[in-house]
Amino acid sequence: MNNAIYNFPLPDNELVLGYKKDSPEREQLEKEIQRQLLNPIEIPLIIGGVEVRTAQTGQVRMPHQHSHILATYFKAGEKEVQMAIDAAMVAHRVWSDLSWTVRASILLKAAELISGKYRAVMNAATMLGQSKNIFQAEIDSVCETIDFLKFNAYFISQIYEMQPRSAYNQLNKMEFRPLEGFVFTVSPFNFTSIASNLNMAPVMMGNTTVWKPATTALLSNYYLMKIFQEAGLPDGVINFIPGSGALIGKVALASPDLAGIHFTGSNATFNHLWKQVALQLPHYKSYPRLIGETGGKNFIFVHPTADAKEVAVNAYRGAFEYQGQKCSAVSRMYVPLSLWPEVKSELIRISSDASMGNVTDTGNFINAVIDEGSFDNCMSYISYAITSDDAEIIAGGHGDKSIGYFVEPTIIVTTNPKFKSMEEEIFGPVLTLYVYDDDKLQETIELCNTTSPYGLTGAVFSRDRVAASYMCEQLRYAAGNFYINDKPTGAIVGLQPFGGSRASGTNDKAGGEFNLIRWVSPRTIKETFQPATEYRYGYMME
Ligand code: NAD
């Protein structure tokens, strides 16, 4: 047994490559895109390391050209979900006992594989399957995925170092036990890196998982799973089971061995899972840990001293990059009347300049929304605004789903601060804006704080640093990730740990030690060197 004490150093964040024309990374990526376009694949379930094919299949299509099929996938039935739980329980015996440095080394190898050998594969799959442009795919499926893996290895060494003091006649130790059972991981479509981390954070801490990936992110998620296997992840540590969320969730939550849920997705789904767990509580061996990051109604609040151009550029990027489908995307904004003409003309200028289309055309800033359901949902909010007396559309407002699910980045200006699209999460390229009187700053801050049930991200723009600090105080619970003079998207692992409160989730800060610590159930071990031999205390014998 090698008993050296290891220390994983604080890593650097993965560098974002430039993908300029004729660069080697661009050439490789273009080749890989062609390969994936021309060769549709089969996506089996992977249970206990074994590929499983069922009678139920579905298709993975490109959101920006929905006639194009990228893959055929197999769907889990009840039997396969049970097989996945059993495989996770068997793998738990070995994995939870394995030296943590071996576990960390497997994660670090996965990071290296993504950084080099599979960089183009991950990017191409995320671009084609989830309709991300090169930059959006690179910062997500490559850089953030690698950062999560590397930073987790660093944070685990910090966690294991946390030990209690030992006093006279005793030795105290803290053992960081993995949870007793399996972790059910449920991932969203919008970030490949989140799908990776939802599994790899509990896995790093010695747990095993049953993974329900989002159907609309299956291509990249399947490649991820294959990379984890190549990195040396033992069979059964992660069990990949695509299929219906409702069916898989029902079977997973019925197991007495459910030790935790690691979830990212909508509020409605997380609330449903939480309620189901509550209903079946007496049936579980332990209280399942429920960790979920959910929706948002993220804001930019503009102070009258702000720079109009900075506001417009950051609002546009924050609201419309990846078609507004980032959990952190700006979707409501408060602008003072004095700055509005300048902010408005700048927003309109950028809107008429930014182009929308296929991900393979590098000139496009905007691509397609994820599927028909999302397209219809966005268009219903746009139609509502068109027919409302208290709203006006100043940019965008159209959509076309004949070839791909394209929704124009749309800016709604409303005179009603409680307008439907100021309150509800749309999760698409729709930004609603309320112009306030400069002398109503305090009331408008209060409106911003109370308009939505969420508390994920928010930003203030101000050149008056004292005012910025005041707004930061006033909006203390309105966002778990708060920005001063920046867009509220683009959190980086190790720099801005991510998560929101209120209805936005349990705020366990993905990519940090707060999250990792939820995946252990510590055991305190006290050893006494000279046990007592007399039951009476000294004063009783006087
Ligand atoms: P979603 O809730 O529709 O789906 C998330 C996952 O849950 C999918 O894999 C889906 O198949 C699964 N699912 C659905 N019903 C289920 C059930 N009954 N049992 C088990 N699993 C079930 O969310 P989405 O559309 O994939 O993602 C968009 C949402 O995710 C938005 O609300 C967004 O704000 C949120 N999100 C939040 C964060 C964050 O960090 N706060 C990050 C990314 C996305």
Which tens digits make up the pLDDT trace of 36-47?
Answer: 999 999 999 999
Residue in 252, 201, 231 with CA at minimum distance from that of residue 114:
231
Measure 264 CA to ligand 1 centroid, in angstroms. 5
For ligand 1, say whether the CB of 417 is within 6 Å of any of its atoms.
no
* Minimum CA distance residue for ligand 1 atom 22: 245
**Unique residue bearing structure tokens 């929308």:** 356
Measure 293 CA to ligand 1 centroid, in angstroms. 9
pLDDT tens-digit readout, 10-64 = 999 999 999 999 999 999 999 999 999 999 999 999 999 999 999 999 999 999 9
* Minimum CA distance residue for ligand 1 atom 39: 293
Q: Residue 105 belongs to what H/E stretch?
A: helix 100-115
Radius of gyration of the chain (CA): 25
Provide the β-strand partners of residue 333.
Answer: 300, 433
pLDDT of 352 > 90? The answer is yes
* Minimum CA distance residue for ligand 1 atom 21: 245
pLDDT of 305 > 80? The answer is yes
Inter-axis angle of helices 100-115 and 119-130, nearest 10: 70
Token digits for 291?
């960790």
pLDDT tens-digit readout, 186-219 = 999 999 999 999 999 999 999 999 999 999 999 9
Measure 224 CA to ligand 1 centroid, in angstroms. 19
For ligand 1, say whether the CB of 324 is within 6 Å of any of its atoms.
no
Measure 194 CA to ligand 1 centroid, in angstroms. 11
Q: What percent of the chain has pLDDT over 90?
A: 98
CA distance 239 to 83: 9
Average pLDDT of the chain, as a whole number:
97
CA distance 167 to 542: 27
- The answer to whether the Cα torsion of 367, 373, 376, 381 is positive or negative is negative
Q: CB–CB of 417/390 below 8 Å?
A: no
Q: Which of 131, 269, 452, 457 to mutate to test the pocket of ligand 1 (most atoms within 8 A of CB)?
A: 269
**Amino acid sitting at position 330:** V
Q: CB–CB of 91/47 below 8 Å?
A: no
| Domain boundaries, given as residue ranges, for the chain | 28-294+505-525, 298-484
The pLDDT of residue 5 is: 80
- Sorted by sequence, the CB contacts under 8 Å of residue 493 that are 6+ apart come out as 13, 144, 147, 148, 151, 511
pLDDT of 143 > 70? The answer is yes
Alpha helices in 294-397 (DSSP H): 308-320, 340-353, 372-386
For ligand 1, say whether the CB of 130 is within 6 Å of any of its atoms.
no
For ligand 1, say whether the CB of 272 is within 6 Å of any of its atoms.
yes
CA distance 337 to 100: 57
Measure 21 CA to ligand 1 centroid, in angstroms. 36
CA distance 37 to 127: 11
For ligand 1, say whether the CB of 296 is within 6 Å of any of its atoms.
yes
Measure 170 CA to ligand 1 centroid, in angstroms. 48
For ligand 1, say whether the CB of 327 is within 6 Å of any of its atoms.
yes
| Closest approach atom of ligand 1 to CA 272 | 18
The pLDDT of residue 520 is: 98
CA distance 528 to 232: 40
Provide the β-strand partners of residue 182.
Answer: 258
For ligand 1, say whether the CB of 270 is within 6 Å of any of its atoms.
no
| Closest approach atom of ligand 1 to CA 216 | 26
- The answer to whether the Cα torsion of 446, 505, 140, 369 is positive or negative is negative
Provide the β-strand partners of residue 414.
Answer: 391, 434
pLDDT of 2 > 90? The answer is no
- The answer to whether the Cα torsion of 20, 23, 25, 31 is positive or negative is positive
The pLDDT of residue 152 is: 96
pLDDT tens-digit readout, 230-286 = 999 999 999 999 999 999 999 999 999 999 999 999 999 999 999 999 999 999 999
Q: CB–CB of 226/178 below 8 Å?
A: no
* Minimum CA distance residue for ligand 1 atom 40: 293
Q: What percent of the chain has pLDDT over 70?
A: 100
Would you place residue 3 in the very low, low, confident or very high pLDDT band (cuts 50, 70, 90)? Answer: confident
Token digits for 162?
């946390």
Topology (CATH level 3) of domain 28-294+505-525: Aldehyde Dehydrogenase; Chain A, domain 1 (3.40.605)
Q: Which of 264, 378, 492 to mutate to test the pocket of ligand 1 (most atoms within 8 A of CB)?
A: 264
Overall average pLDDT of the 58-78 stretch: 98
CA distance 308 to 294: 31
**Unique residue bearing structure tokens 């490949």:** 192
Token digits for 169?
């006649």
pLDDT of 1 > 70? The answer is no
Q: Which residues are catalytic?
A: 293, 327
Residue in 243, 182, 237, 236 with CA at minimum distance from that of residue 212:
243
**Unique residue bearing structure tokens 């801490």:** 205
Alpha helices in 361-428 (DSSP H): 372-386, 420-423
Domains 28-294+505-525 and 298-484 share a fold: no
CATH of 298-484, picked from 3.30.70.1350, 3.20.20.70, 3.40.718.10, 3.40.309.10, is: 3.40.309.10
The pLDDT of residue 4 is: 81
Q: What are phi and psi of 490, to 5 degrees?
A: 85, 30
| Residue 90 CA: distances (Å) to CA of 76, 181, 208, 241, 248 | 19, 10, 9, 17, 19
Q: CB–CB of 49/235 below 8 Å?
A: yes
For ligand 1, say whether the CB of 11 is within 6 Å of any of its atoms.
no
Neighbours of 531 (CB within 10 A): 6
Q: Which of 186, 250, 273 to mutate to test the pocket of ligand 1 (most atoms within 8 A of CB)?
A: 186
Residue in 221, 200, 198 with CA at minimum distance from that of residue 130:
221
Q: Residue 33 belongs to what H/E stretch?
A: helix 24-38
The pLDDT of residue 173 is: 97
Q: What are phi and psi of 53, to 5 degrees?
A: -115, 135
